[in-house]
Each structure stands twice: as C-alpha cells, then as structure tokens.
C-alpha cells in the first residue's frame, strides 16, 4: 500500500465510511469539513479534521482548489472524493494528478469521456453494448410511421436538439404519430431553433439495473454482481437490491458481459457502475450511462460478495494488483438497502433538518446501518437529506424482505421528521414482496397507496 | 519529562470535583505545560491555550512544502495556537482555509504592523489557495494589537488572524 495519508473530502455517511476504511488499512485519515460539519461523525473519527470553509457547498466541498490545497498542506498523498459533490468532476482528478496526489477513482480522461453522454454512448456502441433501439433523423410523419413499424410501438419521438421534454411525445399507434409529429417538430424548432426529430423505442415496463465494476487501469476488469434500483422517485433511488431477482440467469450473464466489455475498452481504473434499462417485456437490456465513482448503494454488492469495496478502492489506487479472478467473486444470498432521509413524505418530501434527539437504528444478524448520525446530532440544512442507509441481508429475497420489514419496525428516530413511514409502507406492499416492480411503480402505485393510507 | 506529564486523569477528576463542590465561577490551574480551565459560563474562553475547546479552528504549521507532499508528509499532530480573544479586542478571521501571508510578496514589508491604525478596507494579509492570493480586508476601523499567525502557516476557515482594538 503506497498511500499513507488520505484526505476525505465528502461528508455524511460516506465520509465516515471512507475514514473507517482508510484506518482499517493503516492509512491516516484527514477529514475536510465545512463549518457546519465540524461536529460530524467523520470529523470525530478522523485522525485530523480541518475546517476548509463556511457551510455553503460552493465555498467548501465544491471548490477543487481548496480541497487540493488542503491535501498538500496536511501532507496527504491521496484524496477520496466519495460520491456526489466533485466525485465525477474531471477537473478535481486532474488537479490531484498535477500535484502528485493520488485521486481515488478513475483517470481524469475516463471521467470526462464517460461524463459526456454522447461520447459514453459512442464508446458503448463501439464495445458492442446494446443501446435503446432508435433511429437517426426522421423527416416527416410518414417516415416516422415506417420506422415505428420496424421498432415496434410504443415509440418515443424526441427533438434532436432537445431537452426538458420539449418536442417529445409517446406514440402508441400510427395515428398518434400522424397527429403529433408536426406539432412536436414545430415546438422543437421554436424552442431550440432546430425541428429535427428522431425516434427511440419506448420501454413501458422498465427496471433500472446496474453492474458494479472494478478495473486495475490496465484492462483487467471484474464485476461484483448487479443491483436492481427500480424503486425511484423523481429519478432518486429509494430501495436498491442485489442481485436483480427478476432477471433470468442468461440475461444476467449478458448484462455482466456488456458492462465488462465497455469498461475494459477504456481500461477503466477503480470502482464504477454501468447502468442499464431492463426491458422486462422484451427481455432486453439497454445501456444508459456509467457512473465513474463509488455509489450510494454499493453496500448491497458488498453484502452479497463479501468484499469491502471502499477498502478495495484504496488498494487499487495504492497500486496493488487486482489479483482476483471473476470466479473468486461469487454472489451469495440477497441484500436490500433503503435510504433514510430527513424529509417529510406527507409534505411533498420537504427537507426536515434538525436535531436528532433519539437515534436508535435496528441491530441484529443480517442488519447493517451505514450512517453518520447519533443522539444529539444536528442534521444541517445545507446539504442533501440522507441520514443513513439500512441494509439487510439474508439467504433469499423472501427472507430478506421479512428481515427488512422487522428492521424498519424496530428503527426509532426522534427529533426530526423522516421518510421512515414511507419506507415501512413500501416494504409491506404486495408488489414489493412479490417483486412486481418497475421504475414508475413508486410514483404511479406506491405513493398513491401511501397517500390513501394517510387519510 | 515535563511537569505536565505527571498529572494523572484522577488528578483532573479531583480538580473537577473540587470545582463542582465550590461556589467559584471559574478555576484556572497551571502546572508546567498542563493547563486546566473550568468555568460555569458555557461561553467562557480559557486564558492561553484553548485546552478544552477542541472544536475551535486551529492554525497549523505547513510542514510539507506544496511541491513535495508525498516525500515530506507533515506531522499529523495538531499544533493548537488558538488564543482566547481578549476583552476589548476583535479578531479578523480567515475567510476560508489557506496559507497566511503577512506581505504582498516575499521580502516586501508586511501589510500591517502592530500599532498601526487601520480602516474597514485596509488590506491586512493574503490567504493563498493553490497559488491564488486573495487579500483580506480588515472589515473594521481600529488599531492592530497582535498578529496571531506566522507567515506561511496554514489556517482553517474562521481562524483568528489578527487582533484589532476597535476605534471608539
């Protein structure tokens, strides 16, 4: 291990996790905090804590120069970015490299390439990874109808210059295309000065699946199984599990192959996640994007593989070879994570920061809680609302669901409003128990049922 | 071995018990390098070193030159130099973490000297972050009474840099 002292530049549970992982490997941990986080768990655990700036993120956690200056001034030889904040900003990785600091993550050029959606798709296509079937530019409604016959309805018409839903519509028939095409094209022309349209297959019944990968930077890549993160609200994941129990083994193997083929093609370094859309009706997978960092939901992969992925990040960044073969990483059992947030599910998920007067997470076999909270901890109002992650593990999904229900029932948090009632509600839903889920389930079924229960 | 290292935890506990049993407002004990300050006022700041204030911002020497951090790692040990702000004085504080410089460039005279009268917009020092040097304005009128930080030291956000006696 060539790393002797690391600067942890994130906050919340992941900062505490990074500090502990470093110390477990004999690495000294310096924690950079904003003024609002000087009493935080990570600050308490770290060998040294430095206050880098005031509470607002742009003056503290989002300033790459400040972070690298802190690393240099405190004699750190490595920097762990966590997730969010600057973790996928190539500029931070480059600045570290320029100053001889090991950035614990992918190379800056990999972060830049995969962060650009078009370039990422081009890389995926070149690596033989399936993308959502679609077309090039479509001239008029008649051409759209011909293309839709090949793709199969429903289809999604999109503005080539577009974004934010402008010029976009779903067509379930030739009549829908005839009725909508000119209107959408005009809307795109007005909004973006370009009325060019193209078509993609619309996936009605989609799951979000993703593959945890690791690379040594020289072309050796491994996966640590997949995760199913279909329970989402406004593209924010709420529950994540591993493996994706709804996926047949043959397709799972194809999924893993596709992910590895993409990351091998860029000689990926360190931890990453390749995200896919799983078209359940057609039994196909389509590439979405690569997250070039560790993710919030990495613990479910740790639970079913037995690896500590944060420690592995340190080992790989420190130059240790990734000396495993794929068959040394079997997936055993089932793990489910849910995210505890300081937000009010009865008030449109309004954030509810404040002081925790009682923090009593569940304990017991197969129960893990990754959190930075404690009795008396003040959840500051400046950052995201996640206060912890409950992760349960069991031999099968069915047992795991039961364990999750019991663990949620035993969780007690006082002093502020949390989404715990919603998590308990979801864990009791027949669709969740039977694994009849897709990416729209929470918004179309789960939340309305929760609201109804509230009456 | 200093006299301070002879103080045992039970000695400190004894002193705390003594203080609790008394009707004193404050107690200050100094034995060699050992210093204990107890107060019933939660806002009280002890004299001298802030022994009982671990959350206070710390100004720490930069032992590792920026050009060679990996070969010369700084000691991880803190070097607390935070002084209490004496009555009647106000501290000009660091706007962010960075390296403190008293002068606009090496060899130049410092921005301010002790005894100098300053106004709100007087530049009193530089804070450097990755070769970006940002001057710090005094923000108040008065007379410079003490410069708390050495040239080239790393200071944390909000660390007191310069003590000023405000103009009446």
Residues of chain A with CATH 3.40.50.20: 5-104
List residues of A whose CB lies inside 8 A of any B CB: 4-5, 28, 30, 34-35, 38-39, 47-48, 50-54, 59-60, 63, 65-66, 68-77, 95, 99-101
Task: Give the tens place of pLDDT for each residue, A432-447.
Answer: 999 999 999 999 999 9
Please indicate whether, in this complex, the C-beta atoms of A50 and B97 are within 8 angstroms of each other: yes
Task: Report percent pLDDT > 70 for chain A.
Answer: 98
In A, minimum Cα distance to B93 occurs at A53
Residues of chain A with CATH 3.30.470.20: 206-454
* Interface residue of B55, B64, B69 to substitute, partner A, most A CBs within 10 Å: B69
For residue A428, give the 3-state DSSP assignment: helix
Please indicate whether, in this complex, the C-beta atoms of A75 and B96 are within 8 angstroms of each other: no
Task: Give the tens place of pLDDT for each residue, A368-387.
Answer: 999 999 999 999 999 999 99
Residues 6+ apart with CB under 8 A from B54: none
Q: How far A443 CA lies from chain B's nearest CA (Å)?
A: 42
Mean pLDDT over residues A46-56, rounded?
97
Mean pLDDT over residues A115-120, rounded?
87
C-alpha torsion sign, points A242, A246, A249, A252: negative
User: Pick from A4, A50, A69: which is nearest to B129 by CB?
Assistant: A69
Please indicate whether, in this complex, the C-beta atoms of B64 and A65 are within 8 angstroms of each other: no
Please indicate whether, in this complex, the C-beta atoms of B132 and A75 are within 8 angstroms of each other: no
Task: Give the tens place of pLDDT for each residue, A278-290.
Answer: 999 999 999 999 9
Q: How far apart are CA A76 and CA A226, in angstroms?
A: 34
Return the axis-axis angle of helices A420-428 and A447-454, rounded to nearest 10°.
110
| CA triple B94-B97-B102, angle to 5 deg | 55
Q: How far B88 CA lies from chain A's nearest CA (Å)?
A: 26
Distance of CA A415 to the CA centre of its chain: 28
**Which of A196, A188, A200 lies closest to A138, judged by CA?**
A196
DSSP state of B83: B
List residues of B whose CB lies inside 8 A of any A CB: 55, 57-58, 60, 62-64, 66, 68-70, 72-76, 78, 96-99, 128-130, 132, 154, 156-158
Please give the model's pTM, rounded to 2 decimal places.
Answer: 0.83
- Start-to-end CA distance of chain A, whole Å, equals 57
Task: Give the tens place of pLDDT for each residue, A2-25.
Answer: 999 999 999 999 999 999 999 999
Task: Give the tens place of pLDDT for each residue, A286-315.
Answer: 999 999 999 999 999 999 999 999 999 999
User: Token pair for residue B3?
Assistant: 């006299």
| Sheet-wide strand order for A197-201 | A134-138, A197-201, A155-159, A169-171
Please indicate whether, in this complex, the C-beta atoms of B74 and A48 are within 8 angstroms of each other: no
Structural domains in chain B, sorted by start: 1-44 (no CATH), 59-166 (2.40.50.100)
Domain A134-201: state its class.
alpha beta
Domain A5-104 has CATH 3.40.250.10: no
Q: How far A377 CA lies from chain B's nearest CA (Å)?
A: 15
Please indicate whether, in this complex, the C-beta atoms of A60 and B70 are within 8 angstroms of each other: no
DSSP state of A71: H
Q: How far apart are CA A388 and CA A258, in angstroms?
A: 32
Per the CB < 8 A criterion, the answer to whether A199 and A134 are in contact is yes
The CATH architecture of the domain made up of A206-454 is 2-Layer Sandwich (3.30)
Task: Report percent pLDDT > 90 for chain A.
Answer: 91
DSSP state of B53: -
Q: How far A50 CA lies from chain B's nearest CA (Å)?
A: 6
Q: What is the average pLDDT value for chain A, to the nearest integer?
A: 95
Indicate whether A57 pLDDT > 80.
Answer: yes
Q: How far apart are CA A133 and CA A146, in angstroms?
A: 15
Residues 6+ apart with CB under 8 A from A249: none
Task: Give the tens place of pLDDT for each residue, B62-103.
Answer: 333 333 333 334 456 544 445 589 999 999 999 999 999 999
Q: Catalytic amino acids of A?
A: 293
Per the CB < 8 A criterion, the answer to whether A276 and A210 are in contact is yes
Quickly tell me which residue has 């490299």 as its tokens: A97
pLDDT at residue B81, rounded to an integer: 47
Q: How far apart are CA A150 and CA A129, in angstroms?
A: 20
B129 pLDDT tier (thresholds 50, 70, 90): very high
Q: Which residue has the higher pLDDT, A327 or A117?
A: A327
Indicate whether A95 pLDDT > 70.
Answer: yes
Please indicate whether, in this complex, the C-beta atoms of A66 and B78 are within 8 angstroms of each other: no
Quickly tell me which residue has 């000689």 as its tokens: A267
pLDDT at residue A430, rounded to an integer: 98
């Amino acid at each position: 291990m060539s790393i002797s002292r690391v600067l942890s530049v994130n906050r919340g549970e992941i900062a505490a996790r990074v500090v502990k992982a470093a110390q477990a490997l004999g690495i000294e941990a310096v924690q950079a905090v904003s003024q609002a986080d000087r009493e935080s768990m990570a600050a308490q655990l770290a060998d040294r804590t430095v206050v880098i700036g005031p509470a607002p993120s742009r003056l503290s956690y989002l300033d790459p120069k400040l972070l690298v200056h802190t690393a240099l001034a405190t004699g750190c030889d490595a920097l762990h970015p966590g997730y969010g904040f600057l973790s996928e900003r190539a500029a931070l990785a480059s600045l570290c490299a320029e100053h001889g600091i090991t950035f614990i993550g992918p190379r800056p050029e990999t972060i830049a390439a995969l962060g650009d959606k078009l370039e990422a798709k081009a890389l995926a296509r070149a690596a033989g990874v399936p993308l959502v079937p679609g077309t090039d530019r479509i001239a008029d409604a008649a051409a759209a109808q011909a293309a839709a016959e090949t793709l199969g309805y429903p289809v999604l018409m999109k503005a080539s210059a577009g974004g934010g839903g402008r010029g976009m519509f779903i067509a379930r028939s030739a009549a829908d295309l005839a009725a909508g095409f000119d209107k959408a094209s005009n809307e795109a022309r007005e909004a973006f000065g370009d009325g060019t349209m193209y078509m993609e297959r619309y996936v009605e019944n989609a799951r979000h699946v993703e593959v945890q990968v690791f690379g040594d930077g020289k072309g050796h890549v491994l996966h640590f199984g997949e995760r199913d993160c279909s329970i989402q609200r406004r593209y924010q994941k709420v529950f994540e599990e591993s493996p994706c129990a709804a996926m047949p083994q043959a397709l799972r193997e194809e999924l893993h192959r596709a992910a590895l083929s993409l990351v091998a093609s860029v000689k990926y370094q360190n931890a990453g996640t390749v995200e896919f859309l799983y078209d359940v009706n057609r039994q196909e997978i389509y590439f979405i994007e690569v997250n070039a960092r560790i993710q919030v939901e990495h613990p479910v992969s740790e639970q079913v593989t037995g690896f500590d992925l944060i420690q592995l990040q340190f080992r790989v960044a420190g130059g240790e070879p990734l000396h495993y073969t794929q068959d040394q990483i079997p997936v055993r059992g089932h793990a489910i994570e849910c995210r505890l947030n300081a937000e009010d599910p009865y008030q449109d998920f309004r954030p509810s920061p404040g002081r925790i007067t009682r923090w009593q997470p569940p304990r017991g076999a197969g129960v893990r809680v990754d959190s930075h909270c404690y009795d008396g901890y003040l959840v500051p109002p400046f950052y995201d609302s996640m206060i912890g992650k409950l992760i349960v593990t069991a031999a099968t999904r069915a047992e795991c669901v039961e364990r999750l229900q019991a663990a949620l029932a035993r969780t007690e948090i006082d002093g502020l409003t949390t989404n715990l009632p919603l998590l308990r509600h979801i864990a009791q839903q027949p669709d969740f128990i039977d694994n009849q889920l897709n990416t729209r389930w929470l918004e179309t079924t789960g939340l309305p049922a929760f609201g109804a229960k509230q009456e | 071995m200093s006299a301070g290292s002879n103080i045992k935890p039970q000695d400190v506990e004894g002193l705390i018990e003594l203080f609790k049993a008394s009707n004193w407002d404050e107690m200050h004990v100094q034995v060699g390098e050992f210093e204990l300050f107890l107060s019933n006022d939660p806002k009280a700041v002890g004299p001298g070193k802030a022994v009982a204030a671990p959350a206070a911002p710390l100004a720490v020497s930069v032992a590792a030159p920026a050009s060679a951090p990996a070969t010369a790692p700084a000691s991880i040990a803190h070097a607390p130099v935070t002084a209490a702000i004496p009555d009647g004085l106000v501290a000009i504080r660091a706007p962010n973490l960075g390296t403190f410089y008293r002068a606009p460039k090496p060899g130049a005279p410092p921005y301010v000297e002790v005894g100098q009268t300053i106004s709100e917009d007087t530049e009193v020092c530089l804070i450097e972050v990755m070769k970006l040097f940002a001057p710090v304005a005094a923000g108040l009128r008065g007379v410079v009474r003490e410069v708390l930080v050495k040239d080239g030291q790393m200071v944390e956000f909000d660390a007191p840099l310069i003590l000023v006696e405000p103009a009446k």
